[in-house]
Structure 1
Amino acid sequence: MCVPSRARFRFQQDSREYQPLDRPGVVLVCVLACLATVVALAATTVNVALTGVRETKRLHTVRQMEAIIEGGCIRALAQLELSAEYEGELWFIPEDVLNGQPSRVEITVASIGLAASSPSASDAPSAAEVSSPPDYASVRATPSGNFRVSVIATLGTEDMPNTLRRVRQFDVRR
C-alpha cells in the first residue's frame, strides 16, 4: 500500500477546505477608492465646464465693449465732421443692455493744434487723416484742425471687483 506524501496531502486538504480570507474591510476600501476616483473625475469635469462658461461670457462681454467703443469712435468722428467745437460727451448704458451691469462711454475730444494754412481756392472738403485706427480714414471733414479723440468704455462701477475698461485713442488731422 502506498502512502501519499505529506506535501501532496496538504495540497489536497487545502483545496477541499477553502476558507475565505478573514478581512471584510478590504472590499470596502477598494469600493471607497473607486468611488473617490469617480468623484474626482466628475468634479474635474464640472470645473472644466464652468470655466468654459465663464470664459465664453467674458469673451462675449469683451466683444460687446469693443462694439461700444467702436460706436463711440464713429460718433466722435461724425460729430467732428459737423462741428470743430465738439468736445465730447458721456453716455450711460442701462444695466439690462450689458450683462446686468451699468456701463458708460466717455468721449473726449481735445484740439492738438490748428492748421496754419491759408484757405484753398476750392471749398471742397478734404479727407481727414486718422493716425489710428485706419478704419476711419474715409471720413470727410470740413472744419480744419488737429484733434485727439479718446473714447473710454467702462462696464461696471469703480467699486465693483470685475470692472472692465477699454480705451481707444487716436488723432484726427485735417
Structure 2
Amino acid sequence: MIHTLQDISRELERVSQRPPRNEAPPVLSTFDVTTFDSADEYVARLRSTLCAALKLAISESFDGEDLPIQGIPQWFIAASGDSPATPPDFAARGLELYLAQVKGGIGRGWQLQEWLYQFDPDSEFRGWAWWDVTYSVEGHVRIWVDSWGESFFACDELRWLAYTAGGQDVSGPVLPNSDKQNE
C-alpha cells in the first residue's frame, strides 16, 4: 500500500489527537499490549516516536541517504542500537521480548534508519496506518490501525515500536469489527 502525503498528514493528526469516532473505517485491526509501566507513559512514547517518523515521511526525501534523526526520541535511538547510550529499562526489556517472541531469540531488532525507511511514502512495505489507541485497564492498551481490511499485513515495524516503547506482551493483529472500538 502506498501512503500518499495527504494520507500521512491525516495519520499524523490521528497520532497527535484522537480521531472522531464517526470517521473510523468499517474495519480496523488491533494489537493488544500489556505494558511494563503506566499506560499514559507508554502511549506518550508511541505517539512521540510515530509523530517524528511521520513528520520525516512528509518532509524528507527517501533517496537512499540517512534520514535526519533530531526529532526521534533518544530512548528509541538507543533501543535501535544507533547510540552509545544504554536504552532505558522499559526499552531494553521490550527489545529482549521482541527478540524472544518475534525473532525466536536470534538476530537483532530494527536498526534506526531501516525502521525509519518503512515510512517512505513511496514504499509498499508498511501495510498499516495508525488510527487510535484506547485503554482497557491500567497497563493494558489497544492499538488500532487501518489495514484496509486485510487480516495479514506487514507490521513488524509497529510490533518493534510496541515492544521497545515498554510493551511486555504484544498480541495481534486481530481484525475485529470497528463498531466495538471504544467499548
TM-score, length basis structure 2: 0.24
| Greater length-normalized contact order (CA 8 Å, ≥ 6 residues apart) | 2
Q: Report the structure, 1 or 2, having the larger strand content.
A: 1
TM-score, length basis structure 1: 0.25
* Structure possessing the higher radius of gyration over alpha carbons: 1
